[in-house]
């Protein structure tokens, strides 16, 4: 078969899968002009190259994809063929809607736990500038997805969603392997800290942090302790406090807002932890460490 394009609302094969917007297996025997113009994705778009050579623009960067390459395009990212061209070759693609406006990428259809979905979410978002990867294993998964969608044998609904879960787990693990192969732990640690600082309000778990580095929780905990002298959660608290001290110097920012934005459950939790680690309450710190502070209460 040279071409199969299933679309939500048109193809009966997708009637049971509202989250699958499009599934395609296409073979181009000639260059297709104006068939892959640049667009901003409003869903997750996954492309697997079976054969041929495709030159695409992804978020203003040119990528040349060969057999075995896999591209993951997240909502808000731009993708298109060079000059709108879809080159000669064969590829699969699938487009999947996201849950909660992209904040949680995998929806209720997924059988993964919430922690696993959040971990995959973070891995994809952190690596969104390098989501072209070698993933030959995806070929069989895409073939199996096609068969399940077309044949509708017993258990096909569960099997299709399982295959999608397998695909996202495979993508996440490969991204982590690629990252680990090209940087040592201090660089990994720096990237982790940058990610944590970008979203300190999130209640990070050790499992989520470990997933970002591609380690199991035990190995991750030992590595962090060896590298920083703290347990992962204590290290995270130190980052929260460091960030809070910066914000406390901005006298226009409310202490409760600082507490919540840096990941503390309440102003009381923030105050207790802050005093334990600095010797001051947040108000005392602000009064003593902020030259322009004027005590008004």
Domain ranges, ordered by start, for the chain: 3-181, 185-287
> Which of 38-47, 187-196, 221-230 holds the top average pLDDT?
38-47
pLDDT at 297: 34
Residue 159 has pLDDT above 60, yes or no: yes
User: What is the percent of the chain with per-residue pLDDT over 70, rounded to a whole number?
Assistant: 92
- Residue, of 297 and 65, whose pLDDT is higher: 65
Average pLDDT over residues 103-112: 83
Q: Is 146 exposed, middle or buried (0-12, 13-18, 19+ CB in 10 A)?
A: buried
Q: Domain 3-181 is in which class?
A: mainly beta
Q: How far apart are CA 171 and CA 72, in angstroms?
A: 9
Only one residue has tokens 């040592």, namely 184
- Of 272, 271, 273, 264, whose CA–CA distance to 286 is shortest? 271
Which 3 state secondary structure label does DSSP give 193?
Answer: helix
- Does this model's pTM top 0.85? My answer is no
pLDDT digits (tens, 9 = 90+) for 44-69: 999 999 988 888 999 888 888 888 99
Query: Could you tell me if residue 23 is left (phi over 0), alpha (psi between -120 and 50 degrees) or otherwise beta?
Result: beta
Helices (H), 182-254: 185-198, 206-213, 217-228, 232-248
> Which of 109-118, 145-154, 178-187, 245-254 holds the top average pLDDT?
145-154
pLDDT at 180: 64
pLDDT at 19: 94
Task: State both tokens at 221.
Answer: 């905990």
- Of 201, 189, 182, whose CA–CA distance to 260 is shortest? 201
- Residue, of 282 and 230, whose pLDDT is higher: 282
Count Cα atoms within 13 angstroms, Cβ side, for 130.
Answer: 12
Distances (CA, A) of 78 to 41, 61, 81, 131, 275: 6, 10, 11, 13, 47
Do 2 and 29 contact (CB within 8 A), yes or no?
Answer: yes
pLDDT at 59: 87
Question: At CB < 8 A and 24+ separation, what contacts does 95-98 make?
Answer: 95/20, 95/21, 95/22, 95/23, 95/43, 95/44, 95/45, 95/46, 96/19, 96/20, 96/21, 96/43, 96/44, 96/46, 96/164, 97/18, 97/19, 97/21, 97/43, 97/44, 98/43, 98/44
Residue 123 has pLDDT above 70, yes or no: yes
pLDDT at 177: 78
Q: How far apart are CA 7 and CA 217, in angstroms?
A: 41
pLDDT at 291: 59
Taking residue 237's Cβ as centre, other Cβ atoms within 10 Å add up to: 19
pLDDT at 293: 53
Residue 295 has pLDDT above 50, yes or no: no
Residue 2 has pLDDT above 60, yes or no: yes
- Residue, of 129 and 285, whose pLDDT is higher: 285
pLDDT digits (tens, 9 = 90+) for 64-95: 888 899 999 998 899 988 777 788 889 999 99
Q: How far apart are CA 230 and CA 224, in angstroms?
A: 7
pLDDT at 25: 95
- Residue, of 227 and 122, whose pLDDT is higher: 122
Residue 197 has pLDDT above 70, yes or no: yes
pLDDT digits (tens, 9 = 90+) for 241-279: 888 988 988 888 889 999 999 999 888 999 999 888 888
Please check whether the two domains, 3-181 and 185-287, share a CATH topology.
Answer: no
Average pLDDT value over all residues in the chain: 86
Q: How far apart are CA 108 and CA 94, in angstroms?
A: 18
Q: How far apart are CA 67 and CA 80, in angstroms?
A: 18
Average pLDDT over residues 137-145: 95
Which 3 state secondary structure label does DSSP give 165?
Answer: helix
Q: Is 229 exposed, middle or buried (0-12, 13-18, 19+ CB in 10 A)?
A: exposed
Q: Is 114 exposed, middle or buried (0-12, 13-18, 19+ CB in 10 A)?
A: exposed
Q: Domain 185-287 is in which class?
A: mainly alpha
Residues 6+ apart with CB under 8 A from 111: 161, 162, 165
Residue 11 has pLDDT above 90, yes or no: yes
């Amino acid at each position: 078969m040279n071409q199969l394009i299933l679309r939500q609302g048109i193809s009966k094969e997708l009637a049971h899968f509202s989250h699958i917007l499009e599934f395609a297996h296409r073979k181009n025997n000639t260059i297709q002009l104006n068939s892959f113009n640049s667009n901003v994705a409003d869903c997750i778009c996954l492309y697997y190259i079976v054969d041929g050579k495709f030159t695409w623009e992804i978020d203003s960067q040119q990528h040349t994809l060969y057999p075995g390459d896999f591209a993951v395009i997240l909502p808000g990212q731009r993708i298109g063929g060079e000059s709108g061209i879809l080159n000669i070759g064969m590829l699969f693609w699938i487009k999947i809607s996201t849950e909660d406006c992209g904040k949680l990428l995998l929806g209720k259809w997924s059988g993964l736990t919430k922690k696993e979905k959040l971990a995959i979410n973070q891995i994809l978002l952190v690596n969104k500038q390098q989501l072209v990867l070698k993933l030959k294993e995806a070929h069989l998964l895409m073939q199996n997805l096609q068969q399940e969608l077309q044949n509708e044998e017993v258990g096909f609904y569960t099997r299709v969603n399982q295959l999608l879960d397998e695909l996202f787990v495979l993508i996440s693990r490969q991204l982590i392997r690629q990252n680990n192969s090209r940087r040592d732990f201090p660089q990994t640690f720096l990237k982790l800290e940058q990610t944590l600082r970008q979203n300190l309000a999130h209640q990070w778990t050790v499992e989520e942090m470990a997933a970002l580095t591609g380690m199991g929780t035990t190995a991750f905990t030992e590595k962090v302790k060896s590298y920083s002298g703290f347990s992962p959660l204590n290290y995270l608290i130190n980052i929260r406090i460091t960030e809070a001290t910066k914000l406390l110097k901005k006298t226009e920012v409310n202490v409760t807002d600082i507490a919540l934005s840096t990941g503390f459950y309440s102003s009381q939790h923030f105050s207790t932890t802050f005093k334990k680690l600095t010797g001051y309450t947040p108000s005392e710190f602000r009064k003593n460490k902020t030259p322009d502070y004027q005590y008004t209460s």
